[in-house]
Amino acid sequence: MLTLKLPADLEARLNQLAEKTKRPKSFYMREALVKYLEEYEDAFLALDRLNKKNAKYLSTKELEKGLGL
């Protein structure tokens, strides 16, 4: 179970969409999470890797050379 407080304008839009489509609001919230959660996880992983002290960074040319391109 998850409780979520939405700004009034966003809640109104979600209510309107749910009414028009005859689907529950939870359907759209679940769909949004499925669509965007992976993107947020990927972004966090990228930032985490960028902040590592001993990270090695390659130029485009170095990467291409390493891949044999």
More confidently predicted of 24 and 53 = 24
- Residues 9, 11: Cα–Cα separation, whole Å: 5
Which position has the token pair 């669509």?
Answer: 35
Sign of the CA dihedral with 44 first, then 45, 51, and 52 last: positive
pLDDT grade, residue 54 (50/70/90)? confident
pLDDT grade, residue 19 (50/70/90)? very high
pLDDT at 55: 78
pLDDT at 15: 97
Nearest to 25 by CA among 45, 51, 4: 4
pLDDT at 41: 95
Alpha carbon 58 to chain centroid, angstroms: 26
Per domain, the residue ranges of the chain are 8-67
